[in-house]
A and B are shown apart, each in its own frame.
Chain A
Amino acid sequence: MRPATDLRSARLAAAAVLQAELASRVPSARTTVRPDGELEVRVEPSELRQAAEVLRTAGSHPLNYLSCVSGVDWPDRGVIEVVYTLHSMPDPSTKASLRSEVARDADPPVLPSLAEVWPTAGFQEREVYDLLGVRFEGHPDLRRILLDESFVGYPLRKDFVDTRPPRRRVTREDYQP
């Protein structure tokens, strides 16, 4: 068992190492370290793959465990942001979030897939594609996952409008045995 302060200082130290590593190997990466020790990495889509490779291997506790892939629609800025939340395993002394933004009006918005770096990205990237319409280049099996194949549109976009015809509420009087 380790106290929470230890985990925080370990994460801060690991973040500093990764920051230096990224600065030399991924030119477009902009990094910030959060107070809790999480390293925030923002990269251009073209260097996403390279940044992922660096994070996957660098440091004493490499980020070998992809926890979560989430997409966020920002219509004000005109972008969709995809966030990869990463941890080291089995020692959780490193935490990072890898972010990349893609123009939401692009047809379609394209990002490189990281399913080769972390195989677990397969399903989660499919989910982002399904709900937000980001196409992941190089994904082994990019299909809708939660919604039906016949579904039109991407419901987690902020401007999504449900176009199904309205339904009337059925009352007791409607019931004709």
Chain B
Amino acid sequence: MTETVEFRPLPADIGEHELLVNMGPSHPSTHGVLRVVLRVDGETVVDALPDLGFLHRCFEKLAESWTWPQVVPLTDRLDYVSAMTNELAYVIAVEKLAGIEVPERAQVIRVIMAELQRIASHLVWFGSFANDLGATTPFLYAIREREHILDLFEAAAGARLTYSYLRIGGVRNDLPPGFVEKCRDFLRLMPKRLKEYENLLLKNVIFVARTKGVGRLTREQAIAYGCSGPVLRASGVDFDLRRDEPYAAYGRFDIDVPVGTEGDVYDRTVCRFEEMRASLKIIAQALDALEPGETMAKVPRVLKPPAGDVYSRIESPRGEVGVYLVSTGGTGPYRVKWRAPSFVHLESLPLMCRGHYVADVVANIGSIDIILGEVDR
């Protein structure tokens, strides 16, 4: 059976000098497969319509036919640049639903892993964002430092990208010997490198000219459009889930929250950049707070959380990752809904792009740090 699909005709109100241009699905700056339909008048963007779904893998439908613990590796594949925080979001939601108390040591390990992952993810963003704007060098530097973190993850979990390290009720295994020392080495090294990056990119005149005043989101727009994480904070909203709605062991630590004022691409860049420094501070505190103990709670082999639903959210490198779970008392989830920050942020992309040049679309997409695996699920 074949069906005919009618292509959407040109908008009726399209102006005489306006053009429709497809940016993507294969475009180096879309970091995957995002198509943005740009309506341009010369070099100026009149409207930008994101078209998603090229990487849809039926995560939510798949999860419904698997058991609760089986979904953990699936969540790794959503936001593959920060798999650890995705696992964290999911296991915390299941623990809330099933009423599982996680041992303190496991909670602190989770904080260490989540913050290392935040730095690793921000480094990937830093490199590729600079690359999009024409600065090739920072990518090579950023990837070099990310390697340290991946080595740490490999030692702890055995994998470098998709870890399945966090389990419902704790973590898979305790930290391997030497992990804490290597982690402290990294903490000593990183501030110097960050200083280097700052000089390399953030103080670059061309970079500043390309990002200042571009893609501005006001405070009201950011809240109304559900922005979260660095995008929200760059618009002047002082809100961080780690501090204001603490989960895992975050309530025990002192957390710096960098906040911007302008809400433009430059402020988003600076907010993300400063977050790496804040994360280093949290890791140092967490390493000091590590005490011997259990790393796994007593969880029944066949987990059956009581019937009910829960919405639980955590601060991922990209923003608020929310998990809405429905249980009917079975061995697997009845419904899993993944609230992905990149997906929500794409809705505000037209707001950022309108009235700016086509080249600024690249800067805007880079500044919201989208991961298509998470957008399309």
A97 near B311 with CB under 8 A, answer yes
Q: A66-B226, A92-B245 are in contact. Are A1 and B346 (CB under 8 A)?
A: no
Q: List the one stretch of B28-36, B121-129, B235-243 in contact with chain A.
A: B235-243
What residues of A have a CB within 8 angstroms of the CB of B344 in the complex? 120, 123-124
Q: A89-B237, A120-B226, A123-B343 are in contact. Are A72 and B245 (CB under 8 A)?
A: no
B322 near A68 with CB under 8 A, answer yes
| A156 CB within 8 Å of chain B | yes
A90 near B239 with CB under 8 A, answer yes
* Closest A residue to B221 using CB positions: A119
A67 near B320 with CB under 8 A, answer yes
- Shortest CB-to-CB span from A133 to chain B, Å, is 14
Q: Which of A135-149 contact B (CB under 8 A)?
A: 144-149
A-B CB pair tally, cutoff 8 Å: 92
| B180 CB within 8 Å of chain A | no
Return the CB mask of B242-267 against A: 1 if under 8 Å, else 0: 01111000010011000000000000
Q: A70-B337, A118-B224 are in contact. Are A90 and B322 (CB under 8 A)?
A: no
- Point out the residue from A4, A7, A68, A123 that lies within 8 Å of B311, measured CB to CB: A68
Q: Is the interface of B mostly helix, strand, loop or mixed?
A: mixed
- Point out the residue from B53, B246, B347 that lies within 8 Å of A122, measured CB to CB: B347
Q: Is the interface of A mostly helix, strand, loop or mixed?
A: loop
- Shortest CB-to-CB span from A63 to chain B, Å, is 11
A119 to B344, CA, bound (A): 11
- Shortest CB-to-CB span from A154 to chain B, Å, is 11
* Closest B residue to A66 using CB positions: B226
Residues of B at the A interface (CB closer than 8 Å) are 3, 5, 52-53, 56, 58, 60-61, 223-226, 237-239, 241, 243-246, 251, 254-255, 309, 311, 313, 320, 322, 324, 326, 334-335, 337, 339, 343-344, 346-347, 376-377
With A7-B245, A150-B5, A156-B335 known, 13 other A-B pairs at CB within 8 A are A1-B243, A1-B246, A1-B255, A65-B223, A67-B226, A68-B339, A85-B324, A90-B238, A92-B239, A120-B347, A131-B60, A144-B53, A156-B61
Residues of A at the B interface (CB closer than 8 Å) are 1-4, 7, 64-68, 70, 72-73, 83, 85, 89-92, 97, 118-120, 122-124, 131, 144-150, 152, 155-156
Q: Can you list 7 A-B contacts with CB-CB less than 8 angstroms, sorted by A residue number? A: A1-B254, A68-B337, A70-B335, A85-B339, A123-B344, A146-B53, A149-B5
